[in-house]
C-alpha cells in the first residue's frame, strides 16, 4: 500500500476506499435496476421491501438502521413506495414515531420481483464465484463497521 502522506494525486483513485466502493456500487446498482425495471422497483427499493417482509413493521429509524441509511433519507425513499401502495406508514404509540409496514400489494410486488432479483444475483455469483462473494460480503461488513463512528 502506498504511503498516504506522499501519494501522487493521480494514484489516489487506485487506493481510495470511497471511490472504489462508489464505482462498484454504481455498476452493481445498474445491473439490479435493469433487471428489476419490469417490476417497477429500483434496486434501492427492493431491500426495503425485503427487510419489511422479513422483520415485520419497523419504525423509520429501525428500518434506516437495518439498511444503513439515515432516517431523513429513509423517509424520502419510502415516499414513492407509499404512493404506490406498497408500504404503509402509520403513527406509532409515540406520535412522533412513524412505523412502516408492507402492504398486501407490497408483498405481491416483492414476490413478483424475486425472479428478477434472482437473475441479477445469479449473475453476480457466476462472475464472482460463491467463495469470493462470501468473502466480499464479509469484507463489506467489516468496511461498514470501520466507517461507523466509534
Cα(31)–Cα(28) distance, integer angstroms = 5
Residue 108 C-beta-side C-alpha neighbours within 13 Å = 6
What per-residue confidence (pLDDT) applies to 7?
67
The series of mean pLDDT values per 10 residues for the chain, 150 residues long, is 64 88 96 97 97 96 94 95 97 89 98 98 97 96 90
What is the pTM assigned to this prediction? Answer: 0.87
What per-residue confidence (pLDDT) applies to 6?
58
Q: Which residue carries 493521480 as its cell?
A: 10
What per-residue confidence (pLDDT) applies to 136?
96
Q: For the chain, which domains are there?
A: 36-115 (1.10.10.10)
What per-residue confidence (pLDDT) applies to 96?
87
Instruction: Determine the straight-line distance between the first and last CA of the chain, rounded to whole angstroms.
Output: 25
What per-residue confidence (pLDDT) applies to 150?
79
DSSP letter at 44? T
Amino acid at each position: 500500500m502506498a504511503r498516504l502522506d506522499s501519494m501522487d494525486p493521480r494514484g489516489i483513485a487506485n487506493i481510495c476506499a470511497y471511490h472504489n466502493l462508489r464505482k462498484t456500487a454504481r455498476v452493481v446498482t445498474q445491473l439490479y435496476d435493469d433487471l428489476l425495471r419490469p417490476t417497477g422497483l429500483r434496486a434501492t427499493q427492493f431491500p426495503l421491501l425485503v427487510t419489511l417482509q422479513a422483520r415485520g413493521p419497523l419504525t423509520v429509524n429501525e428500518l434506516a438502521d437495518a439498511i444503513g441509511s439515515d432516517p431523513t433519507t429513509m423517509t424520502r425513499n419510502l415516499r414513492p413506495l407509499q404512493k404506490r401502495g406498497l408500504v404503509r406508514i402509520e403513527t406509532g404509540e409515540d406520535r412522533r414515531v412513524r412505523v412502516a409496514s408492507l402492504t398486501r400489494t407490497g408483498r405481491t410486488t416483492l414476490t413478483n420481483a424475486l425472479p428478477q432479483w434472482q437473475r441479477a444475483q445469479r449473475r453476480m455469483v457466476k462472475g464472482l464465484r460463491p467463495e469470493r462473494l462470501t468473502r466480499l460480503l464479509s469484507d463489506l461488513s467489516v468496511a461498514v463497521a470501520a466507517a461507523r463512528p466509534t
